[in-house]
A and B are shown apart, each in its own frame.
Chain A
Amino acid sequence: MNKRKRTSPTTIAATFGLTVVGFASVAFADASNPPLEALGPPPIPADNPQTPEKIELGKLLYFDSRIGGDASVACSDCHEQKQGWGFNDSLSRGYPGVIHWRNSQTVINSAYLGKLFWTGSAKSLENQAPSAALGVVSGNGERDMVEARLAFIPEYVERFNDVFGDDWPKVNNAWRAIAAFERTLIHNDTPFDRYMRGDSAAMSEQQVRGMALFEGKANCIECHNGPLMTDQKYYNLGIERAEEWFDNGMAQVTFRYEQYVKGTTEELYRIIKDDAGLYYRTKEKADMGKFRTPPLRYTLYTAPYMHAGKFFDFEEVVDFYDEGGGENEFTDGTLASAKTPLLKPLGLTDEEKEDLVAFLEALSGEELRMETPQLPSYAPLPASVN
C-alpha cells in the first residue's frame, strides 16, 4: 500500500481486502518502479575499455560485409543508419536467400542494455555481435573464415595489432571493436532528456501531459521505467503473429527453421504458429510469447514496432495498449501461457492518446547519421619461408 502513487483509489480498494489491493496494484502506477530520468553515459565494461583507435576499427568492421558468409552483408545491412539503425520492415531482411523472423532492433542505445536480442539471449554487445554475424538467418559467417579474411586486409592487420596487440587479427577482438563502436551510438540528448535536466522548455505542454499519463493512468512506466525506459524483463503483450507467415513462403521456411534449431519438441514444432519468444531459452511454457521490454528512445526512426513489427506508428501502439493489449496463440490458455496481467484497458480519451504520442515523440532527438567509412582492401600476403 505504501507503494501506491495515487493514494485515493487504492485506499478505497484497501478497505476491500488484499485481493482487491492486488488488482489495484496493477491498475495504477507503482512508485517502486525506477523513476524516469535523463540518460547518462553508457556503462563501459572494464575488460573492453573505449579508445579512439578501437572505436574507429569497430566502425570499419560494422560497415564491412566481409564479416558475413558470402561477403555481402554487414552489421549495417540489418542495422541501417537510414532506417533508424534498424530495419524498417516488419521482419528484418536477413541473409541473402533468407528472410529473418523478427523485427530488427535499433543499435542506438544498445550500449545500455544488459540483455540483447528480443529474448535477451546475449548479455553484452561483445556477445551479440558474433551471434548476429554468424547466425544462419543473419550474417551466416563462420569464425575461421572471418578471421582469415581479416588477415588479408593489411589495414586491419595493422589496426588489430595497434589496438589489441594481435599478430594476426583475432576474430574475438573484432567483436570487441564493434562493441566499442556501438557504445558511441548514444542518444541521450532528446527533448525528454533536456527536460529532465531542467530545461522546462524542452518539452511542450502536451508532451508534459503525455509524460504524466505515461507515469500514471496509462501505466507505461510499469515496464518502461528507469533512465533507459525498460525494466529488461519479459512479457507477453498479446502481439499477433507476423503477417509474413501467412503469405510469404520464405518467411514460413525461416519460421519452421527457428522452431527446429531452437529445440522445440517434435509435437510443438508441428503445431506452433507463432514466435514463442523467451520459451525457446527457458523451455518453460509460462514463458511462451514473452519478449524483453525494449527501450523507447530513438523510436521515432525505428518503426515498425514490436518483435513482429506489427505497428507502424505511435498511434497504433497507443491504441493497442489502450485496448489492454491483444490476443495471440499464447494467450488463449491452449499452450499454458497467458497475456501479462499488467495490461488492462486504459480508457484513454482521444486527447490523452495524442498527449501520449506527443510524449513518445519527445524521446527522439536529432537523427544520428554518419558518413559510411571507406573500407580497406584485401591484399596478398608477402611471400614467406615455409
Chain B
Amino acid sequence: MKKKTFSIAAIGMVAALGVIIGAPIQAQEFGPVPQADIDAAKAALGKRLFFDPRLSGDAAISCSTCHNPEKGFADGLPLAKAYPGSDGFRNAPTLINASLKAAWFHDGRLGTNLNDVTRESITETYTMNMDMRLMQERIKQDPIYVEMFAAAGYGEPSNGSVRKAIPEYLKTLTSRGSPYDTGLMSDSATRGFELFKGKAGCAECHSGPRFTDDTPHNTGAPENPEIWSNPLRHVTFVSFAKFMGISNYMNLRRDPGASIRTNLVDGSDIGTFMTPSLRELTYTAPYMHNGMIGSLADVVAFYNDGGGEDPNMDARIQPLGLSAEEQADLVAFLEALSGDPLTSDEHVWPDKIDVNYKPIENWLDARN
C-alpha cells in the first residue's frame, strides 16, 4: 500500500518534469481553439482594411492578396508573391488562428503582438511597401472609413488605429467546426490521432489547441531551389538578409530561419523555423516554410523517412517505420483538423471597395 502510493507520487513528478522539458503533451491539452471576444465595430473596420489595396504603396495589393480566404488565408503557392517588382522567398502562412501565436513569421522574428505584425507587413519593402503616413491620409479621404473609425471609437482615421483594427479582425479568424472539434472523426482519423500522439511522435512539437509548440525547430525540409534560381526571389532574400544583418549575404544560399532571432554562436539554429499550426491544412497546401512539400501524404512520408538532411536537424526526428495504412490514418487525422471555410461575409468584406478617392467638397473650408 505504501509502495503503491509512493509510485503514484513518482509518476506525478515525472509528469511534472515532462511538462517542463517539453515531453509528449497529454491528450486533453489538445482541444478546440478558443474563440476570442470580439469588438464588432473594430473588427468590421479591420476587415475592410484587410481587403483594401490602398494599404499598399502602389495600391495594387491588399493583405488578402497573399492571405486569400479562398486559400485558407494563405495563397496556395509554394513561395508567396510579394509587392509588385519583387517575389517572395517563403510560403505565405495562413492567418487563421494567427492571433493566438506566440511569435509571427516563419522565423518568429516578431514576438510581440499583431499590432507589430500589421505594421511590419504593411511597411516592409517587399510586402506592401507602404508609408503609413500616406496610408493614413488615403484612409481619411474615404468617407466610409471616417464613419467606421468613429463608430469603432477610434476618432479620426490614424495609422495607430489601423494597427489595432486589423488585429481585431484577425482575432475573428479562428478555426471551428472541424471533425476533430465536433467529435465526428472517422475511424481512420481516430487511429491517426493515436499515431499522432504515439508512434509517429508528431505531438512532440505539434501540441495544444493549434497543434504547435510555437517554437522553432529544424526538420531538414529541403531548401527551395527556386529562391536561388529566380532573381526576383533572391533579390528579396538579399534585401531581407541585409536588413537583418546577416553576414556573407551575397554568398548565402540558405534560409537562416529563426537563427536571426536566436543567434546561437555555433550556428546550430540555422534552418530552424517556427512549428506551424496543423489547423486548416486542407486549404493551405503546399506545406513547409518554403512550400517544398505539396500534399499531406508527402508530408507524412517525409517524416516517416526521418525528415530531411540537415546537420542541424532536430534529433527527435527519426525514421518512423509507419505502414502505408498508418500513414493514411495520419493523413485522415490531419484532414480532420480542418473546419468550416472562413469565406462568408462574416470573414470577408462583402462589397467591392471603391478605391477611388472622392474629392472633399468645399475643400478650402474643410479642416484637414
Contacts and interface: CB of A to CB of B under 8 A. Distances in A.
Q: Are A and B interaction partners?
A: yes
Interface string A132-170: 000011001010110111011000000000000000100
Contacts of B358: 249
Interface string A93-107: 001111000000000
A137 B252 CA distance: 34
A370 interface: no
B363 A145 contact: no
Contacts of A378: 231-232, 235
B59 interface: yes
Given A97-B58, A140-B129, A151-B235, 6 more contacts: A97-B54, A142-B125, A148-B236, A248-B357, A257-B133, A273-B364
B141 A70 contact: no
B229 interface: yes
A380 B228 contact: yes
A128 B173 CA distance: 46
Contact of B243 (A72, A95, A144, A259): A144
Contacts of A256: 137, 140, 368
Interface of B: 54, 56-60, 83-86, 125-126, 129, 131, 133-134, 136-138, 140-141, 228-232, 234-236, 238-239, 242-243, 250-254, 356-360, 363-364, 367-368
Contacts of A270: 367-368
A312 interface: no
B30 to A, nearest CB: 39
B357 A249 contact: yes
A166 B236 CA distance: 21
A46 interface: no
Nearest to A71: B85
A102 B193 CA distance: 64
A261 B359 CA distance: 21
A84 interface: no
30 contacts: A69-B58, A69-B85, A70-B84, A96-B58, A96-B60, A97-B58, A98-B134, A136-B57, A136-B133, A136-B134, A140-B58, A142-B125, A144-B125, A144-B239, A144-B242, A145-B126, A148-B235, A151-B235, A152-B234, A152-B235, A152-B238, A248-B357, A249-B360, A252-B360, A253-B141, A260-B133, A261-B131, A380-B230, A380-B231, A386-B254
A177 to B, nearest CB: 20
B359 A70 contact: no
A270 B367 CA distance: 5
Contacts of B137: 253-254, 256-257, 260
Contact of A253 (B138, B229, B243): B138
| Among B235, B238, B250, B364, residue most surrounded by chain A Cβ atoms (within 10 Å) | B235
A-side interface size class: 35 or more
Given A152-B234, A386-B251, A71 B368 contact: no
A245 interface: yes
A247 B360 CA distance: 7
Contacts of A248: 357, 359
Contacts, number: 144
A142 B232 CA distance: 15
Interface string A74-112: 000000000000000000000111100000000000000
B354 to A, nearest CB: 11
Given A144-B239, A246-B359, A70 B234 contact: no
Contact of B59 (A97, A168, A246, A385): A97
A381 B234 contact: yes
Nearest to A378: B231
A311 interface: no
With a 10 A CB-CB cut-off, give which of A95, A145, A252, A257 has the most chain B CB atoms. Answer: A145
Contacts of B136: 260
A383 interface: yes
Interface in A358-386: 378-381, 383-386
A384 B251 contact: yes
B84 A386 contact: no
A185 to B, nearest CB: 27
A12 B230 CA distance: 79
Nearest to A247: B359
B363 A246 contact: yes
A253 B141 CA distance: 7
Nearest to B270: A386
Contacts of A95: 57-58
A145 B235 contact: yes
Contacts of B129: 69-70, 140, 142
A259 B228 contact: no
A109 to B, nearest CB: 31
Nearest 9 CB-CB pairings of A with B: A249-B357, A71-B85, A97-B59, A96-B58, A378-B231, A70-B84, A148-B238, A152-B231, A142-B125
Contact of B367 (A70, A147, A271, A384): A271
Interface in A273-315: 273
Contact of A257 (B57, B134, B230): B134
A250 interface: yes
A140 B357 CA distance: 20
